[in-house]
Amino acid sequence: MDNVVIVGAGRLGRALECILKERAGLELWDTDFAKHPEQKELAEIIPTAGFVLVCTPSWTLREALSQIKPLLDPMAVVILFQKGIEEQTLKLSPEIGRDVLGEEQPIAYIGGPMMAEECLLGQHSFGVVASQKEEALTPVLELFSGSTLRLESSSDLRGVPLAGVLKNVYSFVLGLATGLGWGKNACGWLAGRSIAEMDILMEKLGGDVETVYGPAGIADFIATAFNADSRNRTHGAELASRGSSVLESEGARSLPALLEMVPAEVLAQSPLLRAARDVAISGRPAKEVFDELAV
């Protein structure tokens, strides 16, 4: 039962394959056969897996888990990575995992700065694994021990995925500022305000505020918001500079659901979150919105 199956052969799935390349019994699978033509059938590889790493987009997670559920060993640890909110239910990925797989299945969540491009080059990455089950935490730490991914552990299974959502949204905000030509001084101020808002939102939405200041929060935010290759940042920059973008990012996609979760009095304390709403949802010109922020 030490076999490892990675579901999803996108950038993250490939990065994890690289990180775990020394492991025997490692299998990669994707719904798109063309991404990994030598893959085996799910029915062949899931039943013998001790770990299943689900690397699908957040909006396809429920479907992916439903597909593997009948094949899972009850002791297999399911590891999730999605940094989004399910639009219909406002649930984070571990909550979707419990919905589909039940309370008994060991579920863990990994967040933190894990840029796929750097992982594929063998560079170090850092994260935090969260679970409320010790039988999930210890095996996951052992799975990645000695690899280029260094993991801390946490019991904050609400806050760690929520931090991933927030860092995506606020990286999108930094992208908007970048697209408007804001300089380093202004973006430094904006980053500080972003972290302050993440702190407030984490507390009000049921996570541990300390999580904001760990790998899943501030570390991942810095890695994403100031990375020219970041999809969230690039989406914001294009939207601000051109008025439109062909890109789709987790940050912008999560924004409507996040706004539904945030009480009105908390939104009133969150001018950057309102700015993201005004540009991405209400369609106000980014320059007009950000000029108001700078007053």
Per-residue pLDDT of the chain (295 residues), as tens digits, is: 579 999 999 999 999 999 999 888 999 999 998 999 999 999 999 999 999 999 999 999 999 999 999 999 999 999 999 999 999 999 999 999 999 999 999 999 999 999 999 999 999 999 999 999 988 999 999 999 999 999 999 999 999 999 999 999 999 999 999 999 999 999 999 999 999 999 999 999 999 999 999 999 999 999 999 998 899 999 999 999 998 776 678 888 899 999 999 999 999 999 999 999 999 999 999 999 999 998 7
Query: Within this chain, do residues 115 and 142 fall inside the same structural domain, yes or no?
Result: yes
Q: Is 232 annotated as a binding residue?
A: yes
Q: Vertex 99, ends 98 and 100: CA angle to 5°?
A: 95
Alpha carbons within 13 angstroms on the beta-carbon side of residue 291 total 5
Q: What HEC string does 52-72 produce?
A: EEECCCHHHHHHHHHHHHHHC
Maximum C-alpha span of the chain: 61
Query: Within this chain, do residues 10 and 52 fall inside the same structural domain, yes or no?
Result: yes
The secondary element (H helix, E strand) that includes residue 252 is helix 250-261
How far is C-alpha 288 from the geometric centre of its chain's CA atoms?
30
Q: Is 264 annotated as a binding residue?
A: no
Range of the domain at 110: 3-154
Region class of 236: left (phi > 0), else alpha (psi between -120 and 50), else beta: alpha
The predicted pLDDT at position 68 comes to 98
Query: Within this chain, do residues 83 and 172 fall inside the same structural domain, yes or no?
Result: no
Q: Kindly give the residue spans of alpha helices, DSSP state H, lying in 145-249.
A: 159-179, 184-204, 220-225, 231-242
Number of structural domains the chain divides into? 2
The predicted pLDDT at position 247 comes to 65
Cβ count near 261 (within 10 Å): 17
Query: Within this chain, do residues 148 and 166 fall inside the same structural domain, yes or no?
Result: no
Contact 202, 192 (CB under 8 A): no
Q: Is 231 annotated as a binding residue?
A: yes
Contact 294, 195 (CB under 8 A): no
End residue of a domain, out of 154, 170, 200: 154
End residue of a domain, out of 154, 177, 198: 154
Helix pair 159-179, 250-261: axis angle to 10 deg: 120
Q: Is 133 annotated as a binding residue?
A: no
Query: Within this chain, do residues 13 and 150 fall inside the same structural domain, yes or no?
Result: yes
Q: Which amino acid is at 47?
A: P
Catalytic residues: 167
Signed CA dihedral, 129, 139, 100, 68: sign only: positive
Contact 147, 127 (CB under 8 A): no
Q: What CATH number does residue 112 fall under?
A: 3.40.50.720
Residues 6+ positions from 281 with CB-CB distance below 8 Å: 255, 256, 259
Nearest to 217 by CA among 57, 83, 87, 89: 83
Residues 6+ positions from 198 with CB-CB distance below 8 Å: 163, 166, 167, 170, 212, 217, 218, 221
Query: Within this chain, do residues 261 and 247 fall inside the same structural domain, yes or no?
Result: yes
The predicted pLDDT at position 11 comes to 93
Q: How far apart are the C-alpha atoms of 28 and 53, rounded to whole Å? A: 9
Query: Within this chain, do residues 18 and 143 fall inside the same structural domain, yes or no?
Result: yes
Query: Within this chain, do residues 280 and 164 fall inside the same structural domain, yes or no?
Result: yes
